[in-house]
Amino acid sequence: MIGELVPIVLFAGAFALVFGIRYFLNKEKMAMIERGFDPGARKSTPKPFLSLKFGLLMVGVGLGLLVALFTVRGVFGSEMTNGEEGQAVALYFGSIFIFGGLGLITSYVIEKKWLDQQP
């Protein structure tokens, strides 16, 4: 009984999702037209530092993985017990987020310096 309802519910849910998104986008555009705005003018503006931000984030994540790898190999060696494996995983995730955050902070500092230099 439940095996027969799952595909039906999934199909109905997917249809409702697509229909709802299109319905509300249309309502939003109609409201903009009523207020005198051009709905096509809301296109995304260029973001000159977006690639820098993601590049520094990826470099930070990569550095975090390398630091975690060397730390785990140096501290725990090649043979780990069950308790040490959990600590190694925590080291990996912690290093990823720390160095990824440092990459984003570096990106912010670079953008801030550039914006301060602009007239």
What is the token pair recorded at 76?
């725990």
* Domain identity same for 76 and 100: yes
Has this prediction a pTM greater than 0.85?
Answer: no
The predicted pLDDT at position 19 comes to 96
Q: For the chain, how many structural domains are there in total? A: 2
* Domain identity same for 38 and 61: no
- The answer to whether 100 and 66 are in contact (CB under 8 A) is no
Whole-angstrom distance, CA of residue 99 vs CA of residue 95: 6
Whole-angstrom distance, CA of residue 67 vs CA of residue 102: 14
* Domain identity same for 61 and 113: yes
Task: Give the residues of the chain that fall short of pLDDT 50.
Answer: none
The predicted pLDDT at position 25 comes to 92
* Domain identity same for 69 and 101: yes
DSSP state letter for 3: H
The predicted pLDDT at position 27 comes to 94
- The answer to whether 68 and 91 are in contact (CB under 8 A) is yes
Counting Cα atoms < 13 Å in the Cβ hemisphere of 115 gives 9
The predicted pLDDT at position 71 comes to 81
**Owning domain of residue 91:** 50-117
